[in-house]
Amino acid sequence: MATAAASPRTGTEPVLSVRNLAIDYQTRKGDIPAVRDVTFDLRRGETLAIVGESGCGKSTVAFALIGFLGKNGRISGGSVEFLGQDLTGLEEEQLRRIRGNNISMVYQDPTSALNPSLRVGVQLAEILTEHNEECGEKEAYEQCVAMLEHVHMPDPKKMMERYPHQLSGGQRQRVIIAGGLLNRPALLIMDEPTTALDVTIEATVLDLVQEIKEKFNTAVLFITHDLGVVARVADRVAVMYAGEVVEEAPIKELFANPLHPYTRGLLACIPRAGAFKRDTVLQSILGVVPPPNALPTGCAFEPRCPYSEERSRDEHPEFRPLNGSHSVRCHFAEEIAAGTKSLDERKVHIPAAAVAEPGETILEATDLKTYYAQKGRGLFGLGEKSVVKACDDVDFSLRAGQTLGLVGESGSGKSTVAKTILGLEPVTGGHIEFMGLDLKGTVDDRASKTLKLLQMVFQSPDATLNPTMKVGSAIARTVAKLTDTPHKSVRGRVIELLDSVKLGERYYDRLPRQLSGGEKQRVAIARALAGNPNLIVADEPTSALDVSVQAAVLNLLLEIQSENNTAFILITHDLNVVLYLADWIAVMYLGHIVDYGPREAFLKPPHHPYTEALLSAIPLPDPSVEPKKVRLEGTIPSAIDPPKGCVFNTRCPRYIGEICHTDPKIHRLENGQMIACHHDIEYLASIDPVIDFDEVQEPRLLVP
Amino acid sequence: MSRFILRRLGTLGITLVLVSLMVFLIVEVASPVSVCRRNLGQFATDEQVTLCEQRLGLDRPLPVRYAEFLKNAVTLDFGVSTLTDEPVLDSVIPRLGKTLMLAGIAFIVIMPLAVVLGILSALKEGRLMDRVIAISTLTATSIPEIATGIFLLVVFVGWLGWLPGATVIPQGDSLLQHPSFFVLPVLTLTLIEVGYVARITRASMIDVLDSQYIRTAYLKGLSYWKIVMRHALRNALLAPIAVIMLHVNWLIGGIVVTEVIFGYPGLGRFILGAALNRDVFGLEAATMILVLVAVGTQLIADVVYTFLNPRIRFG
Amino acid sequence: MAPEKPPRKPPVETAVPPVPGAPAVALPTGVAPSVGLQLPWYKRLWEGTIPLRASRVGMVGFAIVAFWTLVAILGPVLARYDPGDQVVAPIPKGATILDLPGGAFPSTKPYREDNPDTPEDETILGYVLTNSGPTSTAWFGTDDRGRDVYSRLVIGARQVMVIAPLSILIGAVIGILLGLAAGYYGGWIDEILMRILDAIIAFPIIVVLLLIVSSIGASRVTVIAAIAVASIPGVARLARSLTLDLRTRDYVSAARLRGENAMYIMVREIFPNASGPIIIDLTLRVGYAVFAIATLGFLGLGLPPPTPDWGSMVAEGRNFVTTNAWAALFPATAIATLVVGLNLMADGIRQESARYR
């Protein structure tokens, strides 16, 4: 077992010292440098976050530390010193003894990370018995139970006997974390451990990471693409771009004073807590990440950098410390810090501010219900059928030019509401009125003149386009089906649409596999615009995209709204994005809308207790803001058998008692807000706000 | 779990009823040549045929005849086989025994060998041993039993003369006393089946080795063999069971052919003879039994799979 | 046991263009300088055969199949005798019946040496050459009825090469339609179809064939129908599971949102994306079909005589394996090579397609 440090919280000797690490992948066409130059130190009790977009090499660094590079990868340069030993020179057998013992790794997707055929207890105990010869079965069992208690697992003894499929996602991640800590490793590597989890569960896992760091004095290397998560867990941050670390600083310093142009670009394109589309814009840096086999000579960021000069193309910048703890890889770091460096505005995309004015009410949903009947469990599917109440008693309305944000976690029913309105799912009960029409039935029953007014943009860019259909044909088909455009003019219209999403005519004959994720999403938007819709439903349109691409797509949506007065229903789990884009917000839980109102109403109480928990859970990209801590226990109940009365009663931190098992009171306030809760409105209004939005710093725009 | 078995048994029952209906329809109804004419042969006179028809009651309405057919089936009264001149049951049961013996021995030989080959192949994926095993198993499994059987006959009986070409047992002896008769049939079946099972096992094992939980096991620092034996194997062996279940019917065809090639006195050879010689009752009985064996085997495999898969067992 | 490929990245989309080698140029965000405009159809077709051409195993298989296809096409040209004809050898001058090889019997046709100078009316007595090994008159020898094995083999190739793909094609069309419908509509259509398919699969097809043959008799139609029906469940199952998966794709929802009807969606949105695995499966099934045709012929359940069927040739030759193995060996080898060739082809394509993805 790795010896627990008797030294103070942050020891003086670094646990991990990485110097100029370089990793290559060998392919048939030659060596590709996935990682070029990474340098950092990590001490006990410290969390270093490595942040970057996909392809920057951050996961590769993590895997290289434990020798998990596969047949084609190898460390081609630099050193990795761990507790005095150089890991790069070690044999496989020596590395094996370190894995799970002195260095543990936790990575994302807990669903498939555990062996489905073995009990949880077995999978935990073997970590101990493998690395400690003296540890017997009984002793291993007891230590596992103790560790499960450390990670706040309910009923640890029972958990040991369970199989992974009987646990929830959050519970599985805790089991994996517990497993990683059993041998009290000096270093814990976490690679996107919460990306696949719901936001309220993510919050509890992040709390856990903080807690174990303090309890066991472990050094934590945390890899993520989410700057909000970074702000919450990290002590120090290293930003990676194209295989190199470009900036490293303590967390508060990085957010307050980013120096590298890439970091500045990143921070300028994510909405800060509480930012609103009418007040600020998301500025994004133009260009793409260069592929690892076609890197520019000189500075890797130069083609996109608004501060670039001749020197950037010729000379590769060194990674140098600026003032003690803040290091940057940029020729002009000092000038940028002083504010004297000139900026080329053409390299920055500065969108116009959103100006759409709300018009008439175009959509009204009343008492909307969508139930799915499941197959019965008897022979031939007969027998008692269970019903999934995906969406129950949902009311809301929407005006032209407005954006409604539908927020909720998995199982909340937000996607079902969208599909029901669009007609992809049949309505089980209730009423939808759109543009004066009564929307009944499904898509198959609607005329094309209705269909064209109501379109959707989907979540996954890969699945949104038919791989066997050319981009132009797909849009052309939509135009032909939904509008009366004469045959000859269709192609012209398609090109018009492609222009409006900033793609252009040369994309007409391309196949989807030749496009990047962001481009595919733009094509999807162009397709949705084909019939000049009054309402577009966007279902997590940017969740699968990198941060810089996200900003561009969101800006595009805003532009469309400004020009055409289109109404949007934006479905997302990201409350941050919703607070930026939406005029009205509806919070959904287990098929019910629990909190509904104009955006301003969500900045301060009264809140529904679930909204409170959500606001508390969202990782804000602003380390100076400390939200009040409100955490939920347990998991979302099944929609097949929802709790009676207020569906939130199993997890509500403000649970009253018996009364919560009856249908909640509906409070309607003057500003249009609706809250479904048994508490009095005065009580809800009197609680402390979760986030003090006045504390939030002004975003550092590239172009002020 | 028991509910699951009950449901499966129910499906089994329905299938058997459907089978009996199909057999009845095809054999007794669909043919332009009546049952009696087939039974008595082409040299029988018209009077004999009419007499027989009256005796069997072939002029009665179909549902009645079908009901009687079912009754006979359940009480195991199938009539007399024109092929062997014995009551059908007496002809069929011993032959079923011999077929099961052949199938059993083949199973015991094939399974361990195939699984080991498949796993070895997967562990050494892409390397020489894997390629050799992959190509040879693909080739062996592609060659039909008739070809394999002939090749084996030519080599071991024709050229080398080591083994008998046809199964001829002296009167009174049991088959087990002459193990040399088993060698070629079992070898034929093995060559075809080992390849198939080995390839499935290999594919399944490769899938498992690629999975996330094996990565977790690796990151825990477990030793190679522990990862393979404890983590990989039990998941890798699940899929082959499911696939083999679907494969049983193919196997039955193979056994029939193998029995014919080597003159092995099993149910397969019998049923072929019954079909070609128009032994109606023998054919009906043998069909029902073979299908029962096929469906029964699938049921057993299904139950075993469910039992081994914790996701289904523990809901 | 390190994995063979680099570790997976988190499922976050990237702005990196999928085509490596593209230069990094400043463009509006999210726009990659994608390379590779649409190619003309014949180039795309050639590209489509890459999985086959890239696999050595696949190409070996393809060579074998191509060989037999050629033989089938050129059948009558290549054959030396009619398949039913008996090969007659000349009785040497002065020999009597007793000098002839065992089993020989005098032929009813005169033997005529291929010598244009031989006067028309000169007849030389001949005997039917039965069960002989390869000779100059009969390259692969003769069977027990004196027929030329080589010619029968060559003509017989046609039977197999036509019936196998034909029956699979019929089965495929029906199977794909059923599978698409069951997968797309779901509900009771799906339930009924699955029950029916389960019922078909529950039967050893050989038993069904035995039943049919004994009642109705064997013919080309029964063989084709039997193989087609036996392949329907497998194809339908595959089509169904692919459809079930594809119908949840967003582009299918997008199609529904623009008012496309079910037929269009199945044909244009779902099927083209399912065709890959289906084609591989069908190639494999043609191999099974050849396997089945030969086996049926062997058992006497296939094409009725006198059509030269490889399977029945093996059956006839089997009885004389100890004296003249060639009569059985050649057709057995032909069957074996053809099926192996088809399977190698299918396997090669499958390996390479998986790698491509």
pLDDT in tens, A556-599: 888 888 888 899 999 988 888 899 999 999 999 998 999 999 99
Interface test mutation site (partner C, options A90, A288, A312, A574, max chain C beta carbons within 10 A): A288
Query: Does C97 score more than 70 pLDDT?
Result: no
- Residue C130's closest CA among C110, C111, C104, C107? C104
Contact criterion met (CB below 8 Å) for C110 and C49: no
Q: How far is CA C237 from CA B207, B298, C170, C174, C178, in A?
A: 21, 18, 16, 12, 9
Contact C237, C200 (CB under 8 A): no
pLDDT tens readout for residues C312-352: 889 888 888 877 788 888 999 999 999 999 999 888 888 87
Q: Collapsing DSSP states into helix, strand and coil, what is residue A46?
A: coil
Helix (H) or strand (E) holding A37: strand A30-42
Chain B segment 143-172 residues within 8 A of C by beta carbon are 143-148, 150-151, 153-154, 157-158, 165
Taking alpha carbons only, the member of C288, C341, C217 closest to residue B253 is C288
Smallest Cβ distance to C31: which of A54, A290, A503?
A503
- How many interface pairs between A and C have CB atoms less than 8 angstroms apart? 224
Which residues in chain C touch residue B18, judged by CB atoms under 8 angstroms apart? 199
In the three-class reduction of DSSP (H, G, I as helix; E, B as strand; rest coil), residue A641 is classed as coil
Local confidence band at B30 (pLDDT 50, 70, 90 cut-offs): low
Q: What was the pLDDT predicted at C301? A: 81
Give the tens place of pLDDT for each residue, B70-126: 777 777 666 766 666 777 778 888 888 889 988 888 888 988 999 999 999 999 887
Top-ranked range on mean pLDDT: pick from A207-216, A628-637, C215-224: A207-216
Q: Is B98 helix (H, G, I), strand (E, B) or coil?
A: helix
Q: Tokens 């890889």 appear where? A: A329
pLDDT digits (tens, 9 = 90+) for B172-216: 667 677 778 888 889 999 998 898 889 889 989 988 988 888 988
Q: Can you say whether residue A532 is alpha, beta or left, with left for phi > 0 and alpha for psi between -120 and 50 degrees?
A: left
Q: Which of B157, A325, B288 is nearest to C328 (CA)?
A: B157
pLDDT, one tens digit per residue, over A466-491 is 998 999 999 999 998 888 888 889 99
With a cut of 0.85, is the ipTM above it? no
Tell which phi-psi region holds residue A373, choosing left (phi > 0), alpha (psi between -120 and 50) or beta: beta
**What does the mean pLDDT of chain C come to?**
77
Number of A/B CB contacts below 8 angstroms equals: 70
- pLDDT band for position C21 (50/70/90)? very low
Report the distance separating Cα A571 and Cα A548, nearest Å.
20
Report the distance separating Cα A151 and Cα B270, nearest Å.
Answer: 67
Q: Which residue has the higher pLDDT, A701 or A362?
A: A362
Determine the Cα–Cα distance for residues A529 and A479; give it in Å rounded to an integer.
9
Q: For tokens 């370190």, what's the residue?
A: A98
Determine the average pLDDT of the residues in A119-137.
88
What mean pLDDT, rounded, does chain B reach?
A: 81
CA distances from A547 to A457, A550, A553, A603 (A): 18, 5, 10, 24
- The shortest CB-CB distance from B221 to any of A96, A113, A165 is to A96
* B288 vs B167, more confident: B288
Q: What is chain B's percent helix, strand, coil content, to nearest 5?
A: 80, 0, 20
Separation of alpha carbons A178 and A149, rounded Å? 9
Between C245 and C126, the higher pLDDT residue: C245
Question: Hey, what amino acid is at B226?
Answer: K
Would the pTM count as exceeding 0.95?
no
pLDDT digits (tens, 9 = 90+) for A645-699: 888 988 898 888 888 888 888 888 888 899 998 888 888 888 888 888 777 767 6
Q: Return all residues near B73 (Cβ < 8 A) that are at least 6 apart.
A: B20, B288
Average model confidence (pLDDT) across chain A: 86
Q: What's the confidence (pLDDT) of residue A8?
A: 39
Predicted confidence at residue C165, as pLDDT, reads: 93
> Can you give the pLDDT at residue A3?
38
Distance from CA of B27 to the nearest CA of A (A): 30
Q: Which residues of B touch A98 (CB under 8 A)?
A: 221
Cross-strand partners of A682: none
pLDDT bucket at C110, cuts 50 / 70 / 90 = low
* Residue type for position C98: L
Residue (of A534, A515, A424, A443) closest to A474 by Cα position: A515
φ/ψ of A392, rounded to 5, equals: -140, 120
Asked if C9's CB is within 8 angstroms of A293's CB, the reply is no
At a CB cut-off of 8 Å and minimum separation 6, what does C37 contact? A506, A509, A510
The predicted pLDDT at position A187 comes to 92
Sequence-distant (6+) residues with CB within 8 A of A464 are A457, A458, A520, A521, A523, A524, C250, C251, C254
User: Would you say domain A362-584 falls under CATH 3.50.50.60?
Assistant: no
Q: How far is C211 from chain B (nearest CA, A)?
A: 6
Q: HEC string of chain C?
A: CCCCCCCCCCCCCCCCCCCCCCCCCCCCCCCCCCCCCCCCHHHHHHHHCHHHHCCHHHHHHHHHHHHHHHHHHHHHHHCCCCCCCECEEECCCCCCHHHCCCCCEECCCCECCCCCCCCCCCCECEEECCCCCCCCCCCCCECCCCEEHHHHHHHHHHHHHHHHHHHHHHHHHHHHHHHHHHHHHCHHHHHHHHHHHHHHHHCCHHHHHHHHHHHCCCCHHHHHHHHHHHHHHHHHHHHHHHHHHHCCCHHHHHHHHCCCCHHHHHHHHHHHHHHHHHHHHHHHHHHHHHHHHHHHHHHCCCCCCCCCCHHHHHHHHHCCCCCCCHHHHHHHHHHHHHHHHHHHHHHHHHHHHHHHC
Structure confidence by residue, pLDDT tens digits, A285-307? 777 788 887 888 888 888 888 88
pLDDT given for residue A476 in this prediction? 92
Inter-chain touch A130–B226, beta carbons under 8 Å: yes
Helix A169-181, helix A199-216: angle, nearest 10 = 10
Specify whether the CB–CB gap between C24 and A290 falls below 8 A: yes
Higher pLDDT, A277 or C12: A277
The answer to whether the beta carbons of residues B138 and C347 sit under 8 Å apart is yes
Residues of A in contact with C257 (CB under 8 A): 422-424, 443, 451, 454-456
H/E stretch holding A558 reads helix A547-564
Report d(CA B246, CA B297) in Å as an integer: 10
What's the DSSP call for residue B59?
Answer: T
**Chain C environment of A459 (Cβ under 8 Å):** 250
Residues of B near A (Cβ–Cβ under 8 Å) read: 7, 10, 211-213, 215-223, 226, 230-231, 234-235, 238, 309-311, 314
Between CA A62 and CA A496 the distance in angstroms is: 46
Q: Are A126 and B222 a contacting pair at CB < 8 A?
A: yes
Q: Is the pLDDT of residue C44 over 70?
A: no
Q: C250-284 burial, b if ≥16 CB within 10 A, otherwise e?
A: bbbbbbbbbbbeeeebbebbbbebbebebebbbbb
pLDDT band of C2, cuts 50, 70, 90: very low
Which chains pack against A, by 3+ Cβ pairs within 8 A? Answer: B, C
Residues of B in contact with C329 (CB under 8 A): 150-151, 154
Which pLDDT score is estimated for C15?
34
- CA C134 to chain CA centroid, nearest Å: 28
Give the pLDDT confidence score for residue C123 in this predicted structure: 58
Task: Report the DSSP pairing between strands A30-42 and A16-27.
Answer: antiparallel
**Coil, helix or strand at residue B164:** coil
Q: For residue range B219-261, what is the model confidence (pLDDT) as tens digits?
A: 888 888 888 888 888 888 888 887 777 788 888 888 999 999 8
pLDDT score of A523: 93
Q: Which two tokens stand for residue A56?
A: 């920057």
Strand ranges, E, within A435-490: 437-438, 454-457
Average pLDDT over residues A355-373: 83
Nearest CA in chain B to C340: B142
% of chain C exceeding 70 in pLDDT: 75
Interaxial angle between packed helices C149-185 and C310-318, expressed in degrees from 0 to 180 and rounded to the nearest 10: 130
Chain B: partners with 3+ C-beta pairs within 8 Å? A, C
Q: How far is B219 from chain A (nearest CA, A)?
A: 6
Chain C hits for B258, Cβ within 8 Å = none
Position B41 scores a pLDDT of 66
Q: Go through the domains of chain B in sequence order and give each one's CATH number.
A: 2-74 (no CATH), 92-308 (1.10.3720.10)
Confidence label for C5 from pLDDT (cuts 50, 70 and 90)? very low
Residues, chain C = 357
What does the pLDDT read at residue C93?
A: 64
pLDDT bracket for residue C16 (50, 70, 90):
very low
Q: Which residue has the tokens 């094939």?
A: B110
CB-CB neighbours of A490 under 10 Å: 19
Q: Are the beta carbons of B15 and C57 separated by less than 8 Å?
A: no
Q: Is C94 on the interface with A (CB under 8 A)?
A: no
Q: Is A103 helix (H, G, I), strand (E, B) or coil?
A: strand
C20 pLDDT tier (thresholds 50, 70, 90): very low
Which is higher by pLDDT, C124 or A90? A90
**Residue C108, pLDDT score:** 63
Work out the average pLDDT over C129-147.
77
- Search chain C and give the residue with CA nearest B250: C204
**Can you tell me the distance from the alpha carbon of B42 to that of C184, in angstroms, rounded to the nearest whole number?**
53
